[in-house]
Structures are given as structure tokens and as C-alpha cells.
């Protein structure tokens, strides 16, 4: 069994025959079938173990009875053979697979231990002097089957979180045809199809509302607990649950490209990806396998060569090997990984890079991009000032909207909203050009028009107009028409209600918060002071953001950067941990290790606290999984034999199973602090 495949439970797929026909089934069904198989084997072995124990000489001695009769040893042999072959089958096939892949581990050790015990006992039945091992063999297999059954249920619990995300997608959709509504399979939907969403149903595809409105519950996808009102023109995400209204949606893309499919893929990839902690656990498990074999054989030789019976030496070897099975160790990290990744996704934290997530515990400084993270990100025009009699305020808004209609920037959205409110017609723009970090330029109605930031005026030595005032929370853009300053538009963006609380929690965790923005110093200072942040860096162009991050790192800070992933991409890549914020299908913010679906600063705090909790769980599990071996292994080898303390193979199996179950339960207790 390859320990590296552990998040899906162990690689039990090869552990019994007849699995090839199930290749088409989901992992969930496959797991359920495996659990049922272990359960059945457990009960059959349990029924056979009772007569095996009653027929065993040692148990009879212990009970003070003598039930031996002619041929009783052969009946014992026959029953034990069934237990060995039927009950031990998963472990024996596992042993063969591990030998083939030259990767001995858990299954190799169990398979080896039960084979040694069985072969030796058979030799006793057919004439070798000594005590047979049949009852130890039966109880050992029984406990191993029980341990695997319980542990697979835990593993399945962790994988279930991902399965729940998959199940969010409805299988059918109501497709709107010209003459009727026709039910089709969700995975057949294409871009620009129109579907109808009825009250209480799940949205079948990502898209834009064509007509109608309703409140949608997106909590399973974004972690946003309040239902959100969606009306014509709004984006909807597949898997969200509709309230009481009904509406039609124009499908944006096929099901496989939907937000939910991308989340499921991300979660799946992250569960399979390795972090430093996982690699550490894998190495430890490999070493434990080597230690088990060397110590087991060494123990056997020591007792046998110092005059103990062959039976006693064999028993010590089998117990050592069983105790040493690196099972708990193999599960210690993957179970926490599977649980944490899926839980995060349900709370709107999408982990793309496991190491980045585990390193969240080391963060000393968080650099926040202001717009849309600490603020709501909805700019509203607070005033329009004309500096040229030729152009009235409404005309300035109308002309500048031509440049902004192609932009996704919050400032553009604010200007376009104002145009809508004033019921103005947006003119056409030609020769459109973006000036990185400073604004946009185009030709509108034959005039060269620029909508730019104050930084552009400074850089191009243009004077700021007399009487120009902007309060501390306003962002201003200037309008140049044919290279002459025609006026300016001031927009303001309100702070998110959760921001102050998030900054306060970071301070309690001894994490510095720094505001990094292209906005003017006055706005930055006001926001920083209001929220109680440690400092701010203002009027920074996108390429300078990268330099600022490097500067902080050179001072020994472990820096996390949050940004919208577009103009912040270089800085996100440079930061020790890049956190992309922004909902919807911007999920592929390639440079970030973590994507926050909601642009909520509280989610960043949750992420850090959850990263710490996850790391703690992994370390707890690793300590438990290795610690019990340190104590149990010498006892199994018989170090305290002269003091009358010795572990039987069955007791070894119980200890091994208990350690695995403790690790599984500990992983399942992981929670996200909302």
C-alpha cells in the first residue's frame, strides 16, 4: 500500500478481488463497498474466532478445562486456515502489491506477521514440537479488520466533505426552448443556453440572470451566510439554492468550467498535494517499516539464541512487527489534510497550495490591498467638478463613462452607475489604451480623453487645479480633454463593517497589518487610522507593490499579501503567502496559494487561525503516532520480560488499532472558527 495515496483512505482499491468492474463508480461508492467488505469479513472471523479460542490448548489451560479430543488440532487448523485466507486476504494481497511496487509498508508488515504465525502453527499441527499460535492469529486478524473498518469510516468522513460539494450540483436543469421548457441533464448545458430556476431549487449552471429576481443562498459555496438578492444582470453560481422567486438564467459556460467544478477540482488537488509536514510523515512511515523488520528479526534471534523456545521467539517477533505498523503515522497528516481542505472550501477559503496554508501560522505581517478587501469596493460618485466652462458636470460624466465601460475597476463601476442614475447615453470610445496603474485613454467623439489618477498629474508635471479639495476618504480621478484639465470626479468607498474587528484580532495574534494602495496618502491615512492598522503605504503603482513586499521581507517579516489577483499578481507571487480575494470565477488567480471567495477581511483572520489549528492537529497526530511506538515497541520486544510484563500479539494489535483510531478521531475534531 502506497502511503502517498492516503487522503482517500488507504489504497485499499487493490485489496480484494473483483474491483475492476467497479472502475466506473464514484470514490464515495467505492469506499462504501470497501467498508461493507471489511464489516462482513470482521463478522465471519468473529464467528470463527470463538471456536478457535475454545479449542486452543493455552486458553483451555487458562480456563482450567481440557476439551481436546482426537482430531481437535485438525479442526483448529481448518478453522484457522479459513480465518487466515478469508480474514487475512486484504492484508495478503496488500503485501503482494507492496512487494511488487518495492514499497513495503503497513500491509507488508501485517501480511508478514500473520503468515509467519500461520506457517509456524501449521508446522506444530503436523509434528513440530511447541505451542500453536492459532488463537493469537485469529484475534490479531479480527482486531486488524475492526481497526481498518473503523478507520475507513473516518477516512470516508473526511472525503465526504468533498462529496457534499460535488452533490451541490443538480443533475437536471429546466432548459427554456422557444415553445416549451424542457428538462435536460446539467452536464449537457452550453454557453448562452437559457434555463429556468424555480423556487427552492438549486441553480444548475453559472450564468447571468435574464429576467426575474430572487434571494439566493450561496453559503455552501462562498461561506456568506445571508441570502443575497439577485436581479436581472447579476451573476449566479451553480449549486446556490434559490429562495421564493423564479428567474431565467443565461448560461455562461459548460458545467465542467463552472465555479463549483473548479472548487471541487481545487479541493481534490489540494487534498492530494504534498506539504512539508506530509513529506515528513511519509519519511517517518518508511523508516518505521524498516525499524519494524530489523527489530522484529533482531528480537526473534535474541530470544531464540538465548535459549527461549521457538514459539516464544516467534511470538515476540510477530508482536513487534504488528506494534510497529506505521498505520497511524500514515494517516496522521492525510486525514487532517482531507478534512481541512474540504472544510475550508465550505467556508469560502480555497487552498491551492498546501504548504502556503500550513505556513499561515508563521505570518508576522499582512499587507492589505484597500479596495474591495477592507472597503466594500463599491465606489459612488460623491461630486463632479468642472474646470472648463465648455464642459458641464453631466457632460464630464458622460464622456468619461465611454472610457470606463470596458473596465472592471470599482471606480469605473461608480462612474457607470452615476451615468445610469442620470439616464445619459454612453458614447463610443476608440483607440482605447490603459495607462498602467494611472488610468485610461481613448478617443471619444473626436476628442482625446484621459481619465487619470493624481499620480499621473504629478508625473507629467501638471498642476493640480486651484481650489481643489478632496476629503480624506475620497478617491479622485481627473479628466483631461485634448491634454487640458477639464475637471475631476470624486468617489468614495465605505469601509466594510467587519474590517475593524479583523484588524483587532490580527493585533491580538501579534500580526502587523499594513495598508498598501495606489490611492492618495490622505485616503490611506484615514482608512489606516480608522481601522487601527500599524501603517500604510500609499500612491504605489502595481510594479512598486512587489518592491514594497521585498522590503518587508528583507526586514525578516513573513509576509502575506491580499489582493484582487489582477494588478497585484507580481506582489502576490513575491509574498510568502499570496491570498487572492474576489468572488466568482476568478478562482484561477494563478499566483496566489489561497483564494478567498468572499472579499471579507474576517476570512483572512479565519484562514490564519484555521491554518494554525490544522498544523496543531497534524503535529498532535504525528506525536501520538510515533510516541506510542516508542513505549510499546520495547514492551513487545520483551524488555520487561523478567519483570513479568510482556505484550501478546493481540494486545499489540489492540494498541496499534487504538493509536490509529485516536489519530482518525483527532483529525475529525478539526473545526473552522467562523
Q: Which residues are catalytic?
A: 369
DSSP per-residue string spanning 581-625: E--TTGGG-TT-SEEESS--HHHHHHHHHHHHHHHHHHHHHHHHH
Place of cell 502517498: 4
Dihedral angle, C-alpha 424, 428, 433, 438, nearest 10 °: -10
Check if the beta carbon of residue 501 is closer than 8 Å to that of residue 530: no
Which residues, including other chains, have CB under 8 Å from residue 64's CB and lie 6 or more apart? none
Check if the beta carbon of residue 486 is closer than 8 Å to that of residue 496: no
Check if the beta carbon of residue 189 is closer than 8 Å to that of residue 255: yes
Residue 294: other Cβ atoms inside 10 A? 12
Check if the beta carbon of residue 613 is closer than 8 Å to that of residue 587: no
Give the residue from 244, 248, 245, 226 showing the smallest Cα distance to 236: 248
* CA–CA separation, 616 and 614 (whole Å): 5
Check if the beta carbon of residue 447 is closer than 8 Å to that of residue 481: yes
End-to-end CA distance of the chain, in Å?
37
* Beta strand 228-230 pairing with 247-251: unpaired
Element (H, E) at 485: strand 484-492
* CA–CA separation, 523 and 540 (whole Å): 13
Using left for φ > 0, alpha for ψ between -120 and 50, and beta otherwise, residue 467 falls in left
Element (H, E) at 125: helix 106-125
Element (H, E) at 215: strand 214-217
Amino acid at each position: 500500500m502506497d502511503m502517498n495515496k492516503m487522503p482517500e483512505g488507504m489504497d485499499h482499491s487493490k485489496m480484494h478481488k473483483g474491483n475492476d468492474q467497479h472502475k466506473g463508480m464514484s470514490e464515495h461508492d467505492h469506499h462504501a463497498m470497501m467498508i461493507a467488505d471489511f464489516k462482513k469479513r470482521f463478522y465471519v472471523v468473529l464467528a470463527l474466532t470463538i471456536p478457535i479460542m475454545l479449542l486452543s490448548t493455552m486458553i483451555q489451560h487458562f480456563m482450567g478445562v481440557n476439551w481436546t479430543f482426537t482430531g481437535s488440532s485438525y479442526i483448529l487448523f481448518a478453522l484457522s486456515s479459513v480465518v487466515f485466507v478469508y480474514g487475512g486476504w486484504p492484508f495478503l494481497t496488500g503485501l503482494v502489491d507492496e512487494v511488487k511496487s518495492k514499497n513495503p509498508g503497513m500491509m507488508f508488515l501485517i501480511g508478514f506477521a500473520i503468515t509467519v504465525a500461520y506457517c509456524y502453527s501449521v508446522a506444530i499441527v503436523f509434528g513440530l514440537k511447541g505451542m500453536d499460535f492459532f488463537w493469537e492469529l485469529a484475534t490479531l486478524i479480527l482486531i486488524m479488520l475492526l481497526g481498518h473498518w473503523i478507520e475507513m469510516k473516518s477516512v470516508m468522513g473526511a472525503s465526504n466533505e468533498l462529496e457534499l460539494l460535488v452533490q451541490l450540483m443538480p443533475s437536471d436543469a429546466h432548459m427554456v426552448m422557444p415553445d416549451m421548457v424542457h428538462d435536460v441533464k446539467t452536464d449537457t448545458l452550453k454557453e448562452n443556453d437559457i434555463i429556468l430556476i424555480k423556487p427552492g431549487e438549486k441553480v444548475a449552471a453559472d450564468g447571468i440572470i435574464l429576467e426575474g429576481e430572487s434571494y439566493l443562498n450561496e453559503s455552501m459555496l462562498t461561506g456568506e451566510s445571508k441570502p443575497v438578492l439577485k436581479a436581472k444582470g447579476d451573476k449566479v453560481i451553480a449549486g446556490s439554492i434559490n429562495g421564493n422567486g423564479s428567474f431565467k438564467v443565461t448560461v455562461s459556460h459548460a458545467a465542467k468550467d463552472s465555479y463549483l467544478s473548479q472548487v471541487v477540482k481545487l479541493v481534490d488537488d489540494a487534498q492530494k498535494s504534498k506539504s512539508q509536514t506530509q513529506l515528513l510523515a511519509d519519511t517517518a512511515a518508511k523508516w518505521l517499516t524498516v525499524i519494524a523488520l530489523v527489530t522484529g528479526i533482531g528480537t526473534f534471534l535474541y530470544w531464540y539464541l538465548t535459549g527461549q523456545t521457538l514459539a516464544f521467539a516467534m511470538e515476540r517477533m510477530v508482536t513487534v512487527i504488528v506494534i510497529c505498523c506505521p498505520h497511524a503515522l500514515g494517516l496522521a497528516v492525510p486525514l487532517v489534510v482531507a478534512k481541512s481542505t474540504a472544510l475550508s472550501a465550505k467556508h469560502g477559503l480555497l487552498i491551492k497550495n498546501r504548504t502556503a496554508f500550513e505556513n499561515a501560522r508563521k505570518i508576522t505581517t499582512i499587507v492589505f490591498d484597500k479596495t474591495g478587501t477592507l472597503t466594500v469596493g463599491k465606489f459612488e460618485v460623491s461630486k463632479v467638478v468642472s474646470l472648463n466652462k465648455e464642459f458641464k458636470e453631466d457632460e464630464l460624466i458622460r464622456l468619461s463613462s465611454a472610457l470606463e465601460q470596458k473596465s472592471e475597476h470599482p471606480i469605473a463601476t461608480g462612474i457607470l452607475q452615476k451615468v445610469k442614475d442620470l439616464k445619459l447615453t454612453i458614447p463610443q470610445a476608440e483607440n482605447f489604451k490603459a495607462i498602467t496603474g494611472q488610468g485610461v485613454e481613448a478617443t471619444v467623439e473626436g476628442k482625446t480623453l484621459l481619465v487619470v489618477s493624481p499620480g499621473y498629474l504629478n508625473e507629467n508635471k501638471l498642476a493640480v487645479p486651484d481650489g481643489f479639495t478632496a476629503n480624506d476618504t475620497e478617491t479622485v480621478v481627473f479628466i483631461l480633454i485634448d491634454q487640458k484639465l477639464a475637471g475631476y470626479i470624486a468617489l468614495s468607498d465605505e469601509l466594510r463593517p467587519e474590517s475593524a474587528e479583523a484588524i483587532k484580532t490580527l493585533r491580538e495574534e501579534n500580526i502587523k497589518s499594513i495598508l498598501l494602495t495606489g490611492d492618495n496618502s490622505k485616503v490611506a491615512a484615514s482608512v489606516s487610522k480608522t481601522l487601527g492598522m500599524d501603517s500604510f503605504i500609499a500612491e504605489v503603482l502595481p510594479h512598486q507593490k512587489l518592491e514594497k513586499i521585498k522590503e518587508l521581507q528583507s526586514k525578516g517579516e513573513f509576509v502575506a499579501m491580499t489582493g484582487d489577483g489582477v494588478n497585484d499578481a507580481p506582489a502576490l507571487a513575491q509574498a510568502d503567502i499570496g491570498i487572492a480575494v474576489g468572488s466568482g470565477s476568478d478562482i484561477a488567480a494563478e499566483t496566489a496559494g489561497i483564494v478567498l471567495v468572499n472579499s471579507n477581511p474576517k476570512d483572512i483572520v479565519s484562514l490564519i487561525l484555521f491554518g494554525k489549528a490544522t498544523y496543531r492537529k497534524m503535529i498532535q497526530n504525528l506525536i501520538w503516532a510515533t510516541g506510542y511506538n516508542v513505549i510499546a515497541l520495547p514492551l513487545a520486544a520483551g524488555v520487561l520480560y523478567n519483570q513479568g510484563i510482556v505484550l501478546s500479539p493481540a494486545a499489540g494489535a489492540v494498541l496499534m488499532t487504538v493509536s490509529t483510531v485516536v489519530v482518525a478521531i483527532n483529525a475529525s475534531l478539526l473545526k473552522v472558527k467562523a
